[in-house]
Chain A
Amino acid sequence: QQQVKQSPQSLIVQKGGIPIINCAYENTAFDYFPWYQQFPGKGPALLIAIRPDVSEKKEGRFTISFNKSAKQFSLHIMDSQPGDSATYFCAAYIPGKLIFGQGTELSVKP
């Protein structure tokens, strides 16, 4: 019940495309949903986050859509660039820890 399921496992888009990464959860005790971006050889870094009482949040080219009733949330990257190529993790917070999805390896082709 503490799992966060993420899809797809990998994603290839052309520059300017809009990759979408989806996550689903079961535990209604989760109260914060961050997305992390990880480049090879680096630790994950916070990209954007949302609370469950908000349905959408935008920061620059990154948007989180949140559907509380369906227990699903997704990351959209507008006008994607080759520099966005990285692994993206969704996560859910429960006191004391983050529960991470399995990750999505995104490749943006020039």
Chain B
Amino acid sequence: GAGVSQSPSNKVTEKGKDVELRCDPISGHTALYWYRQSLGQGLEFLIYFQGNSAPDKSGLPSDRFSAERTGGSVSTLTIQRTQQEDSAVYLCASSLVSDSTDTQYFGPGTRLTVL
């Protein structure tokens, strides 16, 4: 079956512009996660959705970042007034349920470059 898909694969924007990054999780997966991977760094947790529960936003670096998940499926990560330090690969992952042993499947990521 199809894996996690993300779009666009690459996004170049100018400082101060808003961007939207999209994630389509694996069908039937109730948990969805966003991570950020900066050059030469590990993956940094941003936000987590589980079913209809309130999302865990504890990893969002500033109030310029927000995310929503519509209909329990597709998710959009929005970055307002982008800054150069926002340049990174943004990765989305999904899992069947939110459990420690449940594998998180990652998408290929969106590479964001802020000029």
Q: A residues engaging B (CB < 8 A)?
A: 4, 6, 31-32, 34, 36, 41-46, 49, 51, 89, 91, 93, 95-103
Residue of B nearest to A93 (CB): B100
Is B108 a contact of A41 with CB atoms below 8 Å? Answer: yes
Asked if B56 and A43 sit within 8 Å, CB to CB, the answer is no
B101 to chain A: closest residue by CB? A32
Q: Contact residues of B with A, CB < 8 Å?
A: 4, 33, 35, 40-45, 48, 50, 56, 59, 91, 93, 98, 100-101, 103-109
Q: Is the CB of A96 within 8 A of B50?
A: yes
Chain A nearest CB from B56 CB (Å) reads: 5
Which residues of chain A are within 8 angstroms of B108 by Cβ–Cβ distance? 41-43
Contact (Cβ within 8 A) A46 B104: yes
B95 to A: closest C-beta gap in Å: 10
Complex: how many Å from CA A4 to CA B108? 23
How many residue pairs at the A-B interface have CB separations less than 8 Å? 58
* Residue in A closest to B50 when the chains form the complex, CB atoms: A96
Complex contact B42–A32 (CB within 8 A)? no
Q: Which residue of A lies closest to B98 (CB)?
A: A96
User: Is the CB–CB distance between B41 and A102 below 8 Å?
Assistant: yes
Closest-by-CB residue of B relative to A105 is: B40
In the assembly, what is the distance between CA of A85 and CA of B59, in Å? 30
30 inter-chain pairs at a CB distance below 8 angstroms, sorted by A residue, are A32-B101, A34-B103, A36-B106, A42-B108, A43-B4, A43-B91, A43-B93, A43-B107, A43-B108, A44-B43, A44-B91, A44-B106, A45-B105, A45-B106, A46-B103, A46-B104, A51-B101, A93-B100, A95-B100, A96-B48, A96-B98, A97-B56, A98-B35, A98-B45, A100-B35, A100-B43, A102-B40, A102-B41, A103-B40, A103-B42
